[in-house]
C-alpha cells in the first residue's frame, strides 16, 4: 500500500481530561462494539431515567458552550424555543469548512456513536421530533462511519420508535452537503436542508430556535457541542464545570496547523490553556518548526483577526480574546513563522471567502472579489500605495467604522476589541476583510516592500521578462 493515511491528526499524550476524544486511541473506536465496551449509551440511559426538564437543566448548569464558532451555551439555546410549538427539529451542523478547523470530521469518523448519543440526549431533553445530521459532502469516510453507526444503533433500538422501551421516539436522518462553506452558517444550513440554495437569512426574523426548518422551532448545534452530552449525562454538570473556568467550562478541541513542530488536534482545557502552552508546550506543538521565530497566528479559524507573539499568553477564554481584538471561533490555530510571505498568506484567506460568498449581499459579493483582486496584485508585486488605501475603503463598505485588531508593540498599536459593525447578512463578507485588515495593519511594511520592488522594475523589462 501507499504512503498515505485516511484518518490522522489527533495527538493524545500528556495527562489531560478527555471528554470527547476518549475513544480516539482505539482503531475501532467507531464500532458499536467498542462503544459498548467503553460506556457507550450509558448517557442515554441516564438521561432517560430523568425527566426531559432535568436533563435540560443539567445541560444549562454545565454551560456547554457551542463549539461551532459563536460559543453560545447550548442549554440556553434550547430554552429559546417558543413553548408549545411543535414539531421541533435538531439540525446537526457537520459542515465543518472553516479554514484551519479540523475536529468535527474526527469526531464523526472516530466516534460516531458518541455524536448519535448526544443527538438523542438533546432530542429527549428539548422535545425534538426529528434529527437531521448534515455532513459536509466532501467527507465520505465520515459519512460511511456515521451511516454504519446509525444502522447499528437502529438495529440495537437506540434510535427510532420507543427507544430502549421508553416513550421517547426520534429518527436521525443522515443528510449530505455538496460543497459550499457558507452552508455552515445555521440559517443557510436550514435553507440547504430545505433543498434550496444555501443563502443565509437575516436574524431576526429568521432566528432558528423560533423560525427554523420548515418555519418550525429548530436547534442547530455543532458536532462537537453534541458530542459533549454523553459524558455530561453520565458524569453530571458538577464534574463538567470542575474542568476549565466558570465562563469556559469543560474542554475543547483545537486544531493547530502551519509552522509548528507537531501540528495536530488537541483536546485542551477550556479557559486556562494559553496560546503559549499550545504552541510551545511539550504535550502540544513543541515549538515553531526549525525553531524559527513566530511571526503571527490566526487564533480561531480563518475568520478571526490575527495575533502576533504579543498575545501568546492569552488563555482560551472568549471574553479575554475578544478584548484583545480577535475571537476563538471554531478552535483552529494557524501558525506562521518568520519566513512567511504575509501578503500571500492573507491572500489565501481573502480568496477563500470571496470564492465562498453566497452572492446575495452586495458588499460581500462585489467587495470580496474586489479585495481579492487587489490583494492578488499586491502579493504579486504589481500593487500600488493607492491599492493599500483602497483595501480599507472597500473594507469600510463591508464593515463601517472601527475594525478589531490586536495590539502590536512592533508597530505601536493598541488593541481594538470586538465587536464590529457590518453591512452584510452573515460573517462571510466581514471575514473576507479580516485577513486583509490584520495583515495590512500588522505588517504594512511587508506590503510596502513589495510595492517598492515593483517600482524599481521598468515596465519594459518586466514585459520582456514575462515572455
Partner 1 sequence: MSRLNEANVILAKEIIGRYPKARSATIPLLHLSQQQNGYITSEAMVHIGELVGATSAEILGTATFYEMFKFEPVGKYLVNICGTMSCQLLGADELMHHAEARLGVKAGGTTADGLFTLEHAECQAACTEAPNMQVNYRHCHRMTTAAFDQLIDDLAAGRLDGEIPPHGTLARVRQQIPADKAAGVASLDAPAQPAWMPAPEATS
Partner 2 sequence: MTTIDPDTTADDTVEAPPVDPNAVNITVNGVPHVARKGQLVIEAAADAGEYIPRFCYHERMTSVGKCRMCLVECDTGRGPAVTVSCMVPVAPDMKVDTQSETTKRMQEGVLELLLANHPLDCPVCDKGGECPLQDQTLSNGPGESRYVEEKRHYEKPIAISDIVLLDRERCILCDRCTRFADEVAGDPLIHFNGRGNNTHITTYPDEPFSSYFSGNTVQICPVGALTAKPYRFKARPWDLSQQESTCTTCAVGCRTVVQSSRDEVLRYMGVDSEPVNHGWLCDRGRFNFESVKSPDRVLQPLVRDGDQLQPSSWNAALAAAAALITEATAAGGANSIAVLGGARGSNEDAFAWARLGHEVIGTPNVYAQMGDGLPAGLLGQPRATIDQAAHAATIVLLGPDLKEELPVLYLRLREAAEKRWSRIIEFTPKRTGLSPYAWRTIGYEPGTQVAAVQQALADPAIAAQIASGDVVVVAGRANLAESSAATVAALRELLAAVPSALVLPAFRRGNVVGALQVGMRPRPGGLDTRSTLQAAADGKIECLVLVGADPLADFPDTDLARRGLAGARRIIAVDSFLTASSSLAHVVLAASAYTEKSGTTTNIEGRVSTLARQVTPAGNSRADWMIAGELALALGGDLGYDTVDDITADIATLVDGYAEVTIEALAASTDGVVAGVPSAIDPMNVVPVDLPDRNAYDFRLVVSRTMYDQATGTANSPSLAHLPRGSAVHLHPLDIERVGTTAGTEVKVIGPRATVVFAVVADESVLRGTAWVPFNNPGPNVGDLIDCFAAVNDVRIENI
Ligand X SMILES: Cc1cc2nc3c(=O)[nH]c(=O)nc-3n(C[C@H](O)[C@H](O)[C@H](O)COP(=O)(O)O)c2cc1C
By CB under 8 A, name the one of 23, 67, 136, 252 that touches partner 1: 136
- Residue closer to ligand X, measured from CB, 66 or 217: 66
Contact of residue 360 among ligand SF4, partner 1, ligand X, none (CB under 5-8 Å per partner type)? ligand SF4
Using CB under 8 A as the binding rule, whether residue 207 contacts partner 1 is answered as: no
Task: Kindly state the smallest distance separating residue 79's Cβ from partner 2, in Å.
Answer: 22
Is residue 365 part of the contact set for partner 2 (CB under 8 A)? yes
**Could you tell me the smallest distance in angstroms from the CB atom of residue 351 to partner 1?**
8
Out of partner 1, ligand SF4, ligand X, none, what residue 228 binds, judged by CB under 5 to 8 A for its kind, is none
In the bound state with ligand SF4, the residue whose beta carbon lies nearer, of 163 and 180, is: 180
What is the distance between the alpha carbons of residues 377 and 380, in angstroms, rounded to a whole number?
Answer: 5
Q: According to the binding rule CB under 8 A, does residue 227 interact with partner 1?
A: no
| Partner that binds at residue 318, options ligand SF4, ligand X, partner 1, none, CB closer than 5 to 8 Å by kind | none
Contact (CB, 8 A) for 230 and 125: no
Angle subtended at Cα 212 by Cα 211 and Cα 218, rounded to the nearest 5 degrees: 110
Q: Residue written as cell 480561531?
A: 300
Helices (H) and strands (E) in the chain, counts: 18, 8
x-or-dash string of contact with partner 1, 157-186, rule CB under 8 A: x-xxx----xxxxxx-xxxxxxxxx-----
Give the footprint of partner 1 on residues 283-312 (CB under 8 A). Answer: 298, 302
Burial of 5 (0-12, 13-18, 19+ CB in 10 A): exposed
Cβ contact 128:170 at 8 Å: yes
Please report whether residue 369 would count as binding partner 2 according to CB under 8 A: yes
Angle at 113 between CA 109 and CA 115, to 5 degrees: 80
Site for partner 1 in 67-86 (CB under 8 A): 83-86
Binding site for ligand SF4 (CB under 6 A): 182, 199-200, 357-361, 364-365, 424-426, 428-429
68 binds, among partner 1, ligand SF4, ligand X, none (CB under 5 to 8 A by kind): ligand X
Q: Rounded to an integer, what distance in angstroms lies between the CA atom of residue 285 and that of residue 94? A: 26
C-alpha cell at 267: 483536546
- Residue 383: which of partner 2, ligand SF4, ligand X, none does it interact with, CB under 5 to 8 A by kind? none
Residues near ligand X (CB under 6 A), total: 23
Least distance (Å) from ligand X to the CB of residue 402? 21
- Dump the DSSP string for 299-325: SSSTTSPPB-GGGTT-BS-HHHHHHTT
CB 30 within 8 A of CB 36: no
Shortest CB 167 distance to partner 1, Å: 4
Q: In what order do the strands lie in the sheet with 218-222?
A: 171-176, 130-135, 89-94, 218-222
* DSSP single-letter state for residue 293: P
Angle at 28 (CA atoms; ends 27, 29), nearest 5 degrees: 95
The only residue of 65, 133, 324, 361 in contact with partner 2, by rule CB under 8 A: 361
Asked if 95 is part of the footprint of ligand X (rule: CB under 6 A), the reply reads yes
Rounded to whole angstroms, the Cα distance separating 251 from 151 reads 30
Amino acid at each position: 500500500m501507499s504512503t498515505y493515511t485516511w484518518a490522522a491528526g489527533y495527538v493524545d499524550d500528556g495527562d489531560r481530561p478527555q471528554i470527547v476524544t476518549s475513544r480516539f486511541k482505539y482503531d475501532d473506536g467507531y464500532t458499536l462494539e467498542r462503544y459498548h465496551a467503553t460506556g457507550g449509551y450509558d448517557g442515554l440511559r441516564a438521561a432517560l431515567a430523568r425527566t426531559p426538564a432535568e436533563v435540560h437543566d443539567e445541560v444549562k448548569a454545565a454551560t456547554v458552550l457551542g463549539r461551532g464558532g459563536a460559543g453560545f451555551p447550548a442549554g440556553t439555546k434550547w430554552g429559546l424555543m417558543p413553548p408549545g410549538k411543535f414539531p421541533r427539529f435538531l439540525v446537526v451542523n457537520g459542515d465543518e469548512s472553516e479554514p484551519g478547523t479540523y475536529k468535527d470530521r474526527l469526531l464523526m469518523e472516530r466516534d460516531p456513536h458518541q455524536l448519535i448519543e448526544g443527538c438523542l440526549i438533546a432530542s429527549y431533553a428539548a422535545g425534538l421530533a426529528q434529527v437531521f445530521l448534515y455532513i459536509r459532502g466532501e467527507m465520505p469516510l465520515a459519512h460511511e462511519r456515521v451511516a454504519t453507526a446509525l444502522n447499528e444503533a437502529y438495529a440495537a433500538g437506540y434510535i427510532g420508535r420507543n427507544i430502549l422501551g421508553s416513550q421517547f421516539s426520534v429518527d436521525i436522518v443522515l443528510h449530505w452537503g455538496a460543497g459550499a462553506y457558507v452552508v455552515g452558517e445555521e440559517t443557510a444550513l436550514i435553507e440547504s436542508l430545505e433543498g434550496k440554495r444555501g443563502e443565509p437569512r437575516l436574524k431576526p426574523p429568521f432566528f432558528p430556535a423560533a423560525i427554523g426548518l420548515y418555519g418550525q422551532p429548530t436547534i442547530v448545534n455543532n458536532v462537537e457541542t453534541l458530542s459533549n452530552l454523553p459524558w455530561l449525562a453520565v458524569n453530571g454538570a458538577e464534574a463538567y464545570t470542575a474542568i476549565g473556568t466558570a465562563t469556559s467550562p469543560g474542554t475543547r478541541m483545537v486544531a493547530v496547523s502551519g509552522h509548528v513542530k507537531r501540528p495536530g488536534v488537541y483536546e485542551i482545557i477550556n479557559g486556562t490553556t494559553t496560546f503559549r502552552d499550545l504552541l510551545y508546550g511539550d504535550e502540544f506543538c513543541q515549538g515553531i518548526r526549525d525553531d524559527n521565530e513566530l511571526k503571527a497566528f490566526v487564533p480561531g479559524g480563518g475568520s478571526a483577526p490575527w495575533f502576533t507573539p504579543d498575545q501568546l499568553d492569552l488563555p482560551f477564554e472568549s471574553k479575554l480574546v475578544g478584548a484583545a481584538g480577535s475571537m476563538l471561533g471554531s478552535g483552529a490555530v494557524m501558525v506562521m513563522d518568520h519566513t512567511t510571505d504575509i501578503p500571500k498568506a492573507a491572500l489565501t484567506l481573502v480568496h477563500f471567502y470571496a470564492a465562498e460568498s453566497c452572492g446575495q449581499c452586495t458588499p460581500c459579493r462585489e467587495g470580496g472579489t474586489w479585495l481579492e483582486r487587489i490583494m492578488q496584485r499586491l502579493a504579486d508585486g504589481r500593487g500600488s500605495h493607492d491599492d493599500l488605501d483602497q483595501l480599507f475603503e472597500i473594507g469600510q463598505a463591508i464593515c463601517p467604522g472601527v475594525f478589531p485588531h490586536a495590539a502590536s508593540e512592533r508597530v505601536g498599536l493598541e488593541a481594538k476589541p470586538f465587536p464590529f459593525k457590518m453591512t452584510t447578512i452573515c460573517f462571510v463578507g466581514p471575514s473576507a476583510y479580516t485577513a486583509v485588515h490584520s495583515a495590512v495593519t500588522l505588517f504594512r511594511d511587508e506590503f510596502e516592500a513589495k510595492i517598492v520592488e515593483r517600482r524599481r522594475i521598468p515596465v519594459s523589462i518586466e514585459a520582456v521578462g514575462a515572455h
